[in-house]
Structure 1
Amino acid sequence: MFVPDQLVVYPAQGVGKVERLESQVVGGAEAEFYIVRILSNNVTLMVPVKNAVNVGLRALCSAEEGQKILDSLQDRSDFTGYTGQNWNRRYREYSEKLKSGSLEDVAYVLKELLLIGKDKELSFGERRLLEQSMGLITLELAHALDTTQEDVKARIEVFFEDVLHPEENPE
């Protein structure tokens, strides 16, 4: 159960604030809805209370979980390298991960795309997914770690300095 003013995360949309609970008659039956305003774009969503968990609405991660996500981004031991898998298949896989609502899945997509981009140019769709995953991660971690989105992005960029600015880091 979420309460007004609580920060929550809606899959693929990001961090939102529960503005209120509202009852409405839908199909002749009364239903309760969370009214959630997404912080990044001011879109307001109506999420059925009974279905909130099924659609992936979840509480904001804790500071400890946020730090673990940052640590996981820095750790490249699980990256197997660019496998040559076609961009369309990767795009579908990554889109599904972003829709899952799992912060770990979003971090996985971000790390994979940043590291794949080191070896080859990302497609337009992959660049959009990279931007989306960066936005989702940085906004949630900024709230969880009580800092700014810019600070979190700067921390992540330090982890991937060799990828984002290869000319400054000759091998």
Structure 2
Amino acid sequence: MSKTKAKPPFKVNQKIVYPSQGVGKIIEIKEKVFNDTKLLYYVMYLDVSDMTIMVPVDRCSELGIRAIVSADEALQALQTISEDFEPITSDWKLRYQMNLDLLKKGTISDIAMIVRSLYHRSKVKELPILERKLYDSAKKLLEDEISFALDKPLEEVEVLIHEKLEPAGLQNDVRRGAASLADLNDDDEFLNDDEDGIMPADEHDDDDDEE
């Protein structure tokens, strides 16, 4: 029986970020046999879903699992969401896929950019169901990670994020409020909910009813 060569990059009790799942903690490193090979698995507890899952150690990089960022990186992410930026495309399917790809990459900077762009887009026009879910997931992930990184209560971090978003929102609303009716109507019809909540936009039909 062969033995895995993977070396655990994380330690027991270490806080981690699993981009598609949320912030959690390594509670155990367990060895299991699969196809006559001994593999190491992380047993992770995820706070947001109150679930315990197992992930192969050698798949962590592929899944974007990483350690909680430093306090300086968390503060930079807060700064990112307050900065001005180029208006995002009005094609919601393209916008959704771009942001979904960012979420899968999972850096705190990527997550901050998703929150910033979708927050301001929602000021122009209500987001489709899938985008609202993507925004909510990214915002929750950002809040949780910054809360851990800065050792601040979650409620305080929620207020900080809102304060960082809103001033820029007020400045940009004037410019974006002047968008043409054609731009406002460019979004395809909203799509019905799906079972898993987040999935590639091209798996849906264009003929679904608008919410």
**Is TM > 0.5 for Structure 1 vs Structure 2?**
yes
Matched residue type, 2:147? A
Of all paired residues, the percent bearing the same amino acid is 32
Matched with 2:6 is: none
Could you tell me which residue of structure 2 aligns to residue 62 of structure 1?
Answer: 70
Match of 1:101 in 2: 106
| Distance (whole Å) between structure 1 residues aligned to residue 102 and residue 39 of structure 2 | 29
Q: 1:87-129 CA deviation, whole Å, 9 max, x = no partner?
A: 1111111112112121111111100001111222211111111
Looking at structure 2, the residues matched to 46 and 160 of structure 1 have their Cα atoms a distance apart, in angstroms, of 35
> For residues 72-83 of structure 1, what are the structure 2 equivalents within 5 Å?
72-76=80-84, 79-83=85-89
Q: Return the letter of the residue paired with 1:80.
A: E
Instruction: Pick one of 52, 55, 76 that aligns with 1:47.
Output: 55
> What is the rounded CA distance, in whole Å, between the counterparts of 2:31 and 2:88 in structure 1?
49
CA shift, 1:157, in A, is 0.9
Pair 1:144 & 2:149 matched: yes
Aligned-partner Cα distance in 1 for 2:131–2:137: 10
Which consecutive segments of 4 or more residues in structure 1 shift more than 6 A?
none
Helix, strand or coil at the partner of 2:126? coil
Question: Greater Rg, structure 1 or structure 2?
Answer: 2
1:29 match? 37
Paired residue secondary structure (2:50): coil
The question of 1:71 aligning with 2:71 is answered: no
- The whole-number CA distance in structure 1 between the counterparts of 2:17 and 2:28 is 15
Q: Name the SS of the counterpart of 2:69 in structure 1.
A: coil
Does structure 2 retain, via aligned residues, the 8 Å contact 1:82–1:119? no
Give the corresponding residue for 1:15.
23
Q: How does 1:90-129 map to 2 (within 5 A)?
A: 90-129=95-134
Equivalent residue of 2:89, what SS?
coil
Worse-matched range after superposition: 135-144 or 10-19: 10-19
Question: In 2 relative to 1, CA 34–82 (structure 1 residues): closer, same or farther, beyond 3 Å?
Answer: closer
Aligned equivalents of 2:92, 2:79: Cα separation in 1: 27
Shift of 1:34: 0.8
Q: Does 1:158 align with 2:163?
A: yes
The TM-score with structure 1 as length reference comes to 0.88
Return 5+ residue gaps in structure 1 as ranges. Answer: 167-171
Give the aligned residue type for 1:112.
S
- Please give the alpha-carbon distance, in whole angstroms, between the structure 1 residues aligned to 2:102 and 2:134: 10
Q: TM-score, normalised by structure 2?
A: 0.72
Structure 2's unaligned 5+ residue stretches are 1-8, 174-211
Q: Distance in 2 between matches of 1:130 and 1:114?
A: 8
